[in-house]
Structure 1
Amino acid sequence: MNEETLQQVQLAYGVENWSAGYFDINSRGHMIVHPSPGDERHADLKEIVDHLLQRGRVQLPLLLRFPQILNSQLRVLSSAYQAAIVEFEYTGQHYPLYPMKVNPRREVVEEFLREGSRCRIGLECGSKSELFAAIAQDQSPESLLLCNGFKDESFVRTALLGVQAGKRVVIVIEKLNELRMILKLAQELGVAPLIGLRAKLYSRGSGKWASSGGDSAKFGLTTSEILECVRMLREAKLDHHLKLLHFHIGSQITDIKRVKNAMKEAARVYSKLRQIGCGIEFVDIGGGLGVDYDGSKTRFDSSVNYTVQEFANDVVYTFKWICDEENVPTPNLVTESGRFMTAYHSVFITSIRDEIETFADDQPEVTIDEDDPQVITELKDLCDSINAKNYAEYYHDSLQLKDELQIQFNLGLVSLEDRAKGDVLFWEICARALREAEEDGFSDEEFEQLKRNLAQKYLCNFSLFRSAPDSWAIRQLFPIVPIHRLNERPTDYATLVDVTCDSDGKIDRFVDLKDVKQTLELHNWETGEAYYLGIFLIGAYQEVMGSHHNLFGHPNEAHIVIDTNGRFHVTKIVAGSQIQDMMQFARYDSNQLLESYRKQLDHQVDSLKITAAEADSLAQEYTAIAQRSTYLE
Structure 2
Amino acid sequence: MDKYTDLIHQTFDFPTTEFQVENNELMFNGIPLMDIIKQYGTPLKLTYLPKISSQIQKAKRLFKEGMEKLDYKGTYTYCYCTKASHFSFVLEEALKNDIHIETSSGYDMQIVRSLYNKGKINKNTYIVCNGFKRERYRHWISELINEGFVNCMPILDHLGEIDYYKEHVKEKTKVGIRLASDEEPKFEFYTSRLGVRYNDVIDLYEQQIKPDPKFELKMLHYFINTGIKDTSYYWSELSRFVHKYAEVKKVCPELDTIDIGGGFPIKTSIQSEYDYQYMTEEILRTIKRICTEEGVPEPNIFTEFGIFTVGESAANIYSILDEKLQNDKELWYMIDGSFITNLPDAWALNQRWPLLAVNHWDKEYRKIQIGGMTCDSQDYYNSEMHSFQVFLPKSPKKEPLYIGFFHTGAYQEQLSGYGGIKHCLIPSPQHILVDRDENGELKTWQFAPEQSSESMMRILGYEV
Query: What's the TM-score, normalizing by structure 1?
Result: 0.67
1:332-358 deviations in whole A, cap 9, x for unaligned?
A: 111112111111100111000112232
Look up the match of 1:540.
410
1:169 maps to 2:152: yes
Alignment of 1:217-256 (within 5 A): 217-234=192-209, 236-238=211-213, 240-256=215-231
1:517-572 deviations in whole A, cap 9, x for unaligned?
A: 23x21222134532110011101111211251112222111111234655421144
1:319 maps to 2:190: no
By percentage of residues, which structure has more strand? 2
1:500-526 deviations in whole A, cap 9, x for unaligned?
A: 1211111122231xxx323x2122213
Q: 1:322 to 1:63 in 2, by over 3 A?
A: same
Residue 318 of structure 2 aligns to which amino acid in structure 1? T
Q: Is the 8 A contact 1:356 1:456 kept in 2?
A: yes
Note the C-alpha offset of 1:199: 0.9
1:260 maps to 2:235: yes
1:194 maps to 2:174: yes
1:472 maps to 2:460: no
Q: 1:271 to 1:550 in 2, by over 3 A?
A: same
Q: Is the 8 A contact 1:195 1:243 kept in 2?
A: yes
Q: 1:244 to 1:544 in 2, by over 3 A?
A: same
Q: 1:7 to 1:357 in 2, by over 3 A?
A: closer
Distance 1:349 1:327 in 2: 54
1:107 maps to 2:89: yes
Distance 1:334 1:205 in 2: 22
Alignment of 1:513-532 (within 5 A): 516-518=387-389, 520-532=390-402
Distance 2:237 2:381 in 1: 35
Distance 1:66 1:575 in 2: 17
Residue 106 of structure 2 aligns to which amino acid in structure 1? K
Note the C-alpha offset of 1:76: 0.7
Look up the match of 1:285.
260
1:558 maps to 2:429: no
Distance 1:349 1:185 in 2: 49
Which among 250, 274, 278 is matched to residue 306 of structure 1?
Answer: 274
1:570 maps to 2:444: yes
1:359 maps to 2:330: no
SS at match of 1:241: strand
Alignment of 1:55-134 (within 5 A): 58-113=40-95, 115-117=96-98, 121-134=99-112
Which among 17, 23, 36 is matched to residue 28 of structure 1?
Answer: 23
Q: 1:528 to 1:511 in 2, by over 3 A?
A: farther
Residue 179 of structure 1 aligns to which amino acid in structure 2? I
Q: 1:237 to 1:565 in 2, by over 3 A?
A: closer
Look up the match of 1:461.
336
Residue 178 of structure 1 aligns to which amino acid in structure 2? E
Q: 1:192 to 1:584 in 2, by over 3 A?
A: farther
Q: Is the 8 A contact 1:43 1:566 kept in 2?
A: no
Distance 1:314 1:239 in 2: 37
RMSD across aligned C-alpha pairs, in angstroms?
2.6
Distance 1:339 1:252 in 2: 10
SS at match of 2:346: helix
Distance 1:10 1:111 in 2: 34
1:162-181 deviations in whole A, cap 9, x for unaligned?
A: 22343211101111111222
SS at match of 1:82: helix
SS at match of 1:69: helix
Q: 1:358 to 1:197 in 2, by over 3 A?
A: same
Note the C-alpha offset of 1:284: 0.4
Residue 45 of structure 1 aligns to which amino acid in structure 2? L
1:382-416 deviations in whole A, cap 9, x for unaligned?
A: xxxxxxxxxxxxxxxxxxxxxxxxxxxxxxxxxxx
Q: Is the 8 A contact 1:183 1:236 kept in 2?
A: no
Q: 1:10 to 1:522 in 2, by over 3 A?
A: same
Residue 536 of structure 1 aligns to which amino acid in structure 2? F
Which among 146, 166, 191 is matched to residue 216 of structure 1?
Answer: 191
Look up the match of 2:35.
47
Alignment of 1:374-523 (within 5 A): 454-486=329-361, 488-512=362-386, 516-518=387-389, 520-523=390-393
Look up the match of 1:370.
none
Q: Is the 8 A contact 2:369 2:381 kept in 1?
A: yes
1:9-56 deviations in whole A, cap 9, x for unaligned?
A: 2345x4749x6x32x22242222122xxxxxxx222122222x1xxxx
Q: 1:588 to 1:255 in 2, by over 3 A?
A: farther
Residue 135 of structure 2 aligns to which amino acid in structure 1? E
SS at match of 2:114: coil
Q: 1:32 to 1:552 in 2, by over 3 A?
A: same
Q: 1:277 to 1:357 in 2, by over 3 A?
A: closer
Q: Is the 8 A contact 2:432 2:447 kept in 1?
A: yes
Distance 1:91 1:16 in 2: 40
SS at match of 2:399: coil
Note the C-alpha offset of 1:83: 0.8
By percentage of residues, which structure has more helix? 1
Q: Which runs of 5+ in 1 are unaligned?
A: 35-41, 53-57, 298-304, 361-453, 591-633
1:160 maps to 2:30: no
SS at match of 2:84: coil
Q: Which runs of 5+ in 2 are unaligned?
A: none
Look up the match of 1:9.
8
Residue 245 of structure 1 aligns to which amino acid in structure 2? L
Q: Is the 8 A contact 2:430 2:446 kept in 1?
A: no
Look up the match of 1:37.
none
1:302-322 deviations in whole A, cap 9, x for unaligned?
A: xxx632222211221211222
Distance 1:256 1:356 in 2: 43
SS at match of 1:458: strand
Residue 160 of structure 1 aligns to which amino acid in structure 2? S
Q: Is the 8 A contact 1:267 1:322 kept in 2?
A: yes
SS at match of 2:127: strand
Q: Is the 8 A contact 2:315 2:406 kept in 1?
A: yes
Q: 1:5 to 1:106 in 2, by over 3 A?
A: closer
Larger radius of gyration: 1
SS at match of 1:128: coil
Aligned-residue sequence identity (percent) comes to 21
Residue 328 of structure 1 aligns to which amino acid in structure 2? V
Q: 1:563 to 1:32 in 2, by over 3 A?
A: farther
Distance 1:249 1:5 in 2: 39
Distance 1:540 1:573 in 2: 17
SS at match of 1:151: coil
Look up the match of 2:312.
344
Residue 410 of structure 2 aligns to which amino acid in structure 1? A
Where relative contact order (Cα < 8 A, 6+ residues apart) is larger, the structure is 2
Q: Is the 8 A contact 1:346 1:538 kept in 2?
A: yes
Note the C-alpha offset of 1:575: 1.3
Q: Is the 8 A contact 2:157 2:177 kept in 1?
A: yes
Distance 2:457 2:330 in 1: 37
Q: Is the 8 A contact 2:209 2:217 kept in 1?
A: no
Distance 2:111 2:439 in 1: 36
Q: Is the 8 A contact 1:281 1:332 kept in 2?
A: yes
Distance 2:286 2:462 in 1: 57
